[in-house]
Structure 1
Amino acid sequence: MFEACESKLDIIKNFIPSWFAAVMGTGILAIDSLLYSTYFPILKSLAYLLFYFNIGMFFIFIIPWTLRWIMFPKNAFADLKHPILSSFYPTVAVACLVLASDFIMIGNNMFIGEIFWWLGVVGMLIFSTIVTFYMFKSEHIKLDHVNPGWYIPPVGLLVMAIAGSLLMPHSSGLLYELITLVNYYGLGSGLFAYLALLAIVMYRFILHNPLPSALAPTIWINLGPIGAGIIAIINLVNNSPLVSVKNPFYIFSFLFWGFGLWWTIMAIIMTIYYIKNLKLPYGMPWWAFIFPLGAYVASSHLIFNLFKLNIVDYIGFALYWLLLFLWTITLIKTINKVYTGELFKG
């Protein structure tokens, strides 16, 4: 009985911040399934199944995440100051924002969607500030610590404007102004923070050692700010009366999508390189395959809706099946490692 109790405490103690990346990935897969159900109607049923599964997963994860702050605050704060793990703390807030989009688009529940959106906004404002502050004042960050996981705070800021823009037509007065401010704050700060970090990460890729094998899946995270940025721009332009001339933003989104396609090819090539020449051991960073690719798939469908280029939607649909395959493999491996307890060993 003591060993069982100790094991449960280990789950709480070693519940690292990146667990909510699974909620992010499952949530965007649900949305993509709904978007591409026009090709296969059965995908709509899958979207609802994933939606409800994701809600349950979020509430299961939030328990050990919260208890860790109460029972093991030293461990929680240590991760918050860690040059790599700290960037994954905002995933809990991004998970709320993704669930907000799920409730609005799949659940058709604007009320609950808005609750999750506000929770995500508050979480992002807190964690994006704290994580960046600790990085700015740290004296121990080295080039070895630079990795695409650093994009997660900017991604979260960008995602604020996705569901937030859908709330704008349903609000008025001071609340409308506040939601508008939050959306533009998220889009502006997230986009420019991403561009700054992009230069730093590219510098590391070109002039430094390759990423450790355990972090190799984070190469895909670059698709996160690209896909989320495109969706945020299009949604905000479509739902904001402040923008009278929309075409330049649409063209910029298409250019951004083109960069994403190039990075998708690079990510696939680099992943194959790691599999053949190095290693690609399973770990929680595998969830980095999912949300970024899912965001890019969703952005592909939005670009198609704007420009009616079928080839763009075909590319997105092909990548959807890659996304579904990666999600399935990652989920199976995660469940297996949870069952054996390997994911909770200190």
Structure 2
Amino acid sequence: MCKTLKIGDSMLDACESKLDVIKNFVPSWFAAVMGTGILAINSLLYSGYLPILKDVSVILFYFNVLLFFVLLVPWTLRWIIFPKNALADLKHPVLSAFYPTIAVGCLVLGADFISIGNNMFWGEVFWSLGAVGMVLFSLIVLFYMFKSDSIKLDHVNPGWYIPPVGLVVIPIAGSLIMPHLTGIWHELAVLINYFGWGTGFFLYLALLAVVVYRFILHHPLPSAMAPTVWINLGPIGAGIVALINMVNNSPFITVKEPFYIFSFVFWGFGLWWSVMAMIMTAYYIKKLKLPYAMSWWAFIFPLGAYVASSHLVYNIFKFQMIDYIGFVLYWLLFAFWAITLIKTSAKVYTGEVFKGH
């Protein structure tokens, strides 16, 4: 469209550059919304240790709402202007798993609106959009994987956990919405929440075996994908938060202790994986280098979900050490988020992040 206009070369280049932003807008961008949203929630959860974190959570919340709508523009335009590129990514054995990040971003924003913004209406709107989107993406992405005859062991990576993570995230805000609904709408919300957690959890277990198989019997991940080793904390942390929220907001569950104990056990696995992820990251930095890539956002949400789960497990069992661990990891989370945001902003400014993939 730009080339049909009689304009100078510089203006033509600028126009083509803007189209490149849309054409090469990878589906993983909404991981930034996921990461910022979970950092906002954790800032509120841990404001008991440092009151200023409550103000930080509000600032991050409003920033995240703005970020979501800014990213929504090129994401939508890509499907309109470059549908072949968008569809190619949806069928890609690696990139397809990152498409659900837009739906998870909606779910996280729903939780932000409820817990930080105290706005149940918009919380319900974003949760509804995210839940529907997540169910659709989980079916579409996995369908293309199941029917593909070109997926190789090289393609296996922890990014495949994202569809299960998104399903498990559904009940985090959804459980907070359940008590505010009645009749058929309440039943529908309960069904969606339990469907999301059950489907996501068992898909995670299946994919966990596949990914660990790759870790043990195949060469290390490419350096650009190294941060995805943290994604394993996503289904663990989000799974714990979602399960506790569901149990606490489901009157028909009269015996809650077994679910709490399972959450504690699951949390222990997450602590082991946190240490392993740190060791693996240090290994990549020392041996294989760790250049910036959009995959750096994989550091943020999974760790944030685990940090939030630490605080909820502490609230149940009152073991102070658990909350201390969570608070220490909160600062690691904040550092990851700040560094990744600065790096991403710099690459956006230079246009390097839109050079294609």
Q: TM-score, normalised by structure 1?
A: 1.00
Q: Who is 2:96 aligned against?
A: 86
Q: Who is 1:180 aligned against?
A: 190
Shift of 1:157: 0.1
Rounded to whole Å, the distance in 2 between the matches of 1:228 and 1:14 is 30
Per the alignment, in what secondary structure is the counterpart of residue 241 of structure 1? coil
Q: 2:64 aligns with which of 54, 61, 73?
A: 54
Per the alignment, in what secondary structure is the counterpart of residue 177 of structure 2? helix
Percent identical among aligned pairs is 74
Q: Who is 1:154 aligned against?
A: 164
Rounded to whole Å, the distance in 2 between the matches of 1:123 and 1:173 is 24
Kindly tell me the number of residue pairs found equivalent between the two proteins.
346
Q: Who is 1:316 aligned against?
A: 326
Letter of the aligned partner of 1:288 in structure 2? Answer: A
Q: Does 1:67 align with 2:77?
A: yes
Aligned-pair Cα RMSD in Å = 0.4
CA offsets, 1:109-130, max 9 Å, x none?
Answer: 0000000000001111111100
Rounded to whole Å, the distance in 1 between the matches of 2:205 and 2:332 is 27
Q: Who is 2:245 aligned against?
A: 235
Q: 2:228 aligns with which of 199, 218, 230?
A: 218
Rounded to whole Å, the distance in 2 between the matches of 1:10 and 1:239 is 46
Q: Does 1:255 align with 2:288?
A: no
Letter of the aligned partner of 1:55 in structure 2? Answer: V
Rounded to whole Å, the distance in 2 between the matches of 1:207 and 1:16 is 29
Rounded to whole Å, the distance in 1 between the matches of 2:291 and 2:138 is 29
Q: Who is 2:24 aligned against?
A: 14
Rounded to whole Å, the distance in 1 between the matches of 2:289 and 2:167 is 32
Rounded to whole Å, the distance in 1 between the matches of 2:164 and 2:68 is 21
Q: How does 1:120-159 map to 2 (within 5 A)?
A: 120-159=130-169
Shift of 1:242: 2.0
Q: Does 1:111 align with 2:121?
A: yes
Rounded to whole Å, the distance in 2 between the matches of 1:137 and 1:178 is 31
Q: 2:350 aligns with which of 336, 340, 344?
A: 340
Letter of the aligned partner of 2:216 in structure 1? Answer: I
Q: Who is 2:176 aligned against?
A: 166
Q: TM-score, normalised by structure 2?
A: 0.97
Rounded to whole Å, the distance in 2 between the matches of 1:162 and 1:321 is 23
Q: Who is 1:29 aligned against?
A: 39
Q: After the TM superposition, which of the residue ranges 255-264 and 121-130 deviates more from structure 2?
A: 121-130
Rounded to whole Å, the distance in 1 between the matches of 2:80 and 2:251 is 45
Q: 2:205 aligns with which of 185, 195, 198?
A: 195
Rounded to whole Å, the distance in 2 between the matches of 1:16 and 1:127 is 16
Per the alignment, in what secondary structure is the counterpart of residue 38 of structure 1? coil
Rounded to whole Å, the distance in 2 between the matches of 1:275 and 1:111 is 44
Gaps of 5+ in 2: 1-10
Rounded to whole Å, the distance in 2 between the matches of 1:224 and 1:136 is 23
Q: Who is 2:7 aligned against?
A: none
Rounded to whole Å, the distance in 1 between the matches of 2:13 and 2:217 is 47
CA offsets, 1:170-214, max 9 Å, x none?
Answer: 011000000000000000000000000000000000111100000
Q: Does 1:245 align with 2:255?
A: yes
